């Protein structure tokens, strides 16, 4: 099985459409999303509609939960909070119900585990090896799966636990393949589709080839100017329009 792994679409329709076109050329069996379908950008309904139309298997991100009125956006920065409150007003009742229905985590085909922020919470981040160590312990308690895909940071990365060592393989700003070992544990972030944060404005995603035990990371050029103009036209914070063109 070949799985396309996407995350943090964040209501960026232009980025999602470009990613899906690229995925289509690479012939995968299933597309899965690690959450945060909405937030930050200006096409929430169009993005949710496309995710649903394509049958993308998704979990919920922290922005999805807040947009669906599951809790207030406490702890969000002012730009993120403003975008969530705007998104709530834009979403159709059907799309709010869809976001509300998404599970926080998933096991996929008894092959890998999916979370948004961490194994413990969609609001958490995994940025350091110390945070990875805690999540490897939590992953082992969840069952026998050795692979967990996570999002939230918007940065491609692989944390590896192998023979007592935990280390980070950075994948920022480039395309590459990484072979997985059966004996090791992995926390893998495919990067962000709709708001990359690794100084590369191109949309990011990964493909996991389960038969070959290989993860491939890809970057896709999309119309950042069009997405940026939509943010400005919607009256969302101007910073959000700038950052998608600069990849931060």
Range list of H helices, 35-92:
44-53, 62-67, 78-90
Residue-wise pLDDT tens digits, 23-75: 999 999 999 999 999 999 999 999 999 999 999 999 999 999 999 987 888 88
Phi, psi dihedral angles at 124 (to 5 degrees):
-80, 165
**Half-sphere CA count of 181, side-chain side, radius 13 A:** 8
CA distance 167 to 18: 32
Residue 135 pLDDT > 80:
yes
Range 153-162 average pLDDT = 97
pLDDT for 143 equals: 84
Return the HEC string of the chain.
CEEEEECCCCCCHHHHHHHHHHHHHHCCCEEEECCCCCCCCCCHHHHHHHHHHCCCEECCCHHHHHHCCCCCCCCCCHHHHHHHHHHHHHCCHHHHHHHHHCCCCEEECCCEEECCCCCCCCCCCCCCHHHHHHHHHHHHHHCCCCEEECCCCCCCEEEEEECCEEEEEECCCCCEEEECCCCCEEEEECCCCCCCCCCCCCEEEEEEECCCCEEEEEEECCCHHHHHHHHHHCCCCHHHHHHHHHCC
Ranges 71-75, 132-136, 142-146, 177-181: which has the least confidence = 71-75
pLDDT category at 172 given cuts 50, 70, 90 is low
Residue 171 pLDDT > 80:
no
Residues 14, 220 contacting (CB under 8 angstroms): no
Residue 174 pLDDT > 90:
no
Ranges 46-50, 138-142, 168-172, 197-201: which has the least confidence = 168-172
- What percent of the chain is predicted at pLDDT more than 90? 92
Domain ranges of the chain: 2-246
Residue-wise pLDDT tens digits, 195-205: 999 999 999 99
In CATH, the number for domain 2-246 is: 3.60.21.10
pLDDT for 222 equals: 99
């Amino acid at each position: 099985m070949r799985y396309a792994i996407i995350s943090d679409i964040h209501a960026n329709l232009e980025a999602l459409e470009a990613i899906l076109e690229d995925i289509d050329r690479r012939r995968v069996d299933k597309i899965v999303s690690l959450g945060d379908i909405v937030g930050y950008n200006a096409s929430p309904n169009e993005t949710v509609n496309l995710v649903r139309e394509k049958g993308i298997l998704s979990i919920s991100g922290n922005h999805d939960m807040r947009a669906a009125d599951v809790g207030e956006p406490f702890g969000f920065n002012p730009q993120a909070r403003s975008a969530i409150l705007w998104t709530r007003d834009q979403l159709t009742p059907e799309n709010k119900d869809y976001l509300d229905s998404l599970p926080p985590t998933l096991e996929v085909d008894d092959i890998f585990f999916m979370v948004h922020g961490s194994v413990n919470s969609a609001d958490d981040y995994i940025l350091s090896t110390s945070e990875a160590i805690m999540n490897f312990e939590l992953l082992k308690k969840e069952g026998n799966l050795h692979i967990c895909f996570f999002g939230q940071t918007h940065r491609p990365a692989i944390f590896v636990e192998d023979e007592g060592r935990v280390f980070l393989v950075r994948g920022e700003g480039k395309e590459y393949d990484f072979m997985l070992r059966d004996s090791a544990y992995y926390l893998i972030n495919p990067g962000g589709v709709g708001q990359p944060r690794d100084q590369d404005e191109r949309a990011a995603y990964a493909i996991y080839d389960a038969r070959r035990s290989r993860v491939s990371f890809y970057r896709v050029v999309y119309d950042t100017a069009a997405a940026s103009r939509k943010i400005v036209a919607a009256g969302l914070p101007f910073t959000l329009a700038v950052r998608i063109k600069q990849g931060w």
